[in-house]
A and B are shown apart, each in its own frame.
Chain A
Amino acid sequence: MFALKSATKRLNSRAFSTNTAANATSFAKKAFTGGVAATGLAASYLLYADGQTAEAMTAAEHGLHPPAYGWSHNGMFDTFDHASIRRGFHVYREVCAACHSLDRVAWRTLVGVSHTNSEVKEMAEAFEYDDEPDDQGNPKKRPGKLADYIPGPYENEQAARAANQGALPPDLSLIVKARHGACDYIFALLTGYPDEPPAGVVLPVGANYNPYFPGGSIAMGRVLFDDLVEYDDGTPASTAQMAKDVTTFLNWAAEPEHDDRKKDGLKAIIVLSSLYLISVWVKKFKWAPIKSRKIVFNPPKK
C-alpha cells in the first residue's frame, strides 16, 4: 500500500516536472506556430500548382487493365500445365512465328518439357543454320541441332519493320515478364479484339484497335480464330483455348525454371519456418528461468 502510494506520488511529481519543461517560452511558441503556418501554406500552394496542369495520359492511353484469370500455374506450388505448353508451342509455330521471333529459346529446352528428344531433333533439322566455311572459304549451311536457338522469321530488325509497315513485332522469349499484367495481359490482348473499333476512335492506316493495348492502336491484327490450328491431342482449338495455350507456352519460355523454382521454394519454406520455430523454442527455453526468477533481498534485522 505504501509502495503504491509513493509510486503514485513519484509519478505525479515527474508529470509535474515534465509539464514545467514543456512550458515553452513565448518565442518557441511563435516559432512553432509559424512553422505550422508555413507548412500549411506550402502544401496548399503545391496542391494548387498541381491542379493547374493536366494529366497527359488518359485511361485509354494506359490501356484497359486485364482481368485476373485463374491460370493453373497461379498458386505458390503449382507447376505449368505441360500439355498446355505443348499445344502453345504448336500455336506459336503455326501462328505467332510468322512474325515473332523466339531468340532466347533453344530447341533443347523443349526436351523433357513438352516434347521428346526425337521430336525436337526432327523440328530443328527442318531449319538450316550457318556452318563453318568450307576449305575455299565459302559459307556452308547445315541442318539444325538441339543446341541451336529457334530461328526467327526475319533476318534483322530492319527486315521485320519493312515487312510490318514500320512496326517491329517484339521478340516473345521474355514477353510475359516484360509486360504489366503478364499472362493476363497476353491472354486479354489476344482475345480482346472487338469486331470494330468503338465510335470516335481514329486509327492510323494499317492499325487495329485493342482496348488492352496502351493507346488502343496496335499494329498486330487479330490472329487467333476458332479452329485455326489442329491440336494433335484432339483438344478443340477455340480462340480462347489457343490464347490460353500460347500464353502458357510463352510464360514457360520466359520462366523455364518455374517448376523447379516453386519446388525449391517449398523446401526453403519448410526448412526455414522449422528453424524459426525451433529458434523461438530455444529462446524461451533459455530465457524462462531468467525471466521468471525472483530476487529477494532480506535486509538484516538491525
Chain B
Amino acid sequence: MVYQASRIAYKSAPGALHVLKAYTPNLIFFGAAAGGLVFTLTERVPLFRNTFLKKIPVVGDHWDVKIDPQDTYY
C-alpha cells in the first residue's frame, strides 16, 4: 500500500499590477506606434508642424518652411 498525502499548495494569485507589468514593453511599443501614426497623418498641419515637427533635433528644419514674402501672396 502506497501512502499518499495531499496538501493544498497555496499560491498568491497574480494581481492586476502583475499583468500590467508583463505587458509594459508591448504598451510602450504600441504607444510609439500611435505616436508615429499621429505624426504621419498630421505632417501637413501647421499647428503640428510648429508645435512638434519643427523642434525635432537635426532634421527639424525640414518642416520649418520659410517662404520668401516675394514668392507668395499670403
Contacts and interface: CB of A to CB of B under 8 A. Distances in A.
> Within 8 Å by CB, do A and B touch in the complex?
yes
Interface string A90-117: 0000000000000000001001100011
B69 interface: yes
Interface residues of B, number: 5
Nearest to A145: B73
Interface of B: 69-73
Nearest to B69: A117
Contacts of A112: 70-73
Contacts of A108: 73
Contact of B71 (A117, A146, A147): A117
Q: Binding site of A, secondary structure by majority: helix, strand, loop or mixed?
A: mixed
Contacts of B71: 111-112, 116-117
Contacts of B69: 117
Interface centre among B70, B71, B73 (most CB of A within 10 A): B73
Contacts of A120: 73
Nearest to A120: B73
A298 interface: no
A69 B30 CA distance: 57
A267 to B, nearest CB: 14
Chain A's interface size range is under 10
B73 A118 contact: no
20 contacts: A108-B73, A111-B70, A111-B71, A111-B72, A111-B73, A112-B70, A112-B71, A112-B72, A112-B73, A116-B70, A116-B71, A117-B69, A117-B70, A117-B71, A117-B72, A117-B73, A118-B70, A120-B73, A146-B73, A147-B73
Interface in A233-271: none
Contacts of B70: 111-112, 116-118
A108 B73 CA distance: 6
A108 B72 CA distance: 8
Contacts of A111: 70-73
A112 B73 CA distance: 8
Interface string A114-148: 00111010000000000000000000000000110
B5 to A, nearest CB: 55
Nearest to B73: A108
Nearest to A111: B73
A111 B70 CA distance: 7
A111 to B, nearest CB: 5
Contacts of B73: 108, 111-112, 117, 120, 146-147
Given A112-B70, A112-B73, 17 more contacts: A108-B73, A111-B70, A111-B71, A111-B72, A111-B73, A112-B71, A112-B72, A116-B70, A116-B71, A117-B69, A117-B70, A117-B72, A117-B73, A118-B70, A120-B73, A146-B73, A147-B73
A208 B70 CA distance: 43
Contacts of A116: 70-71
A150 B70 CA distance: 19
Among the interface residues B69, B70, B71, B72, which one has the most CB atoms of the partner chain A within 10 A? Answer: B70
A112 B69 CA distance: 9
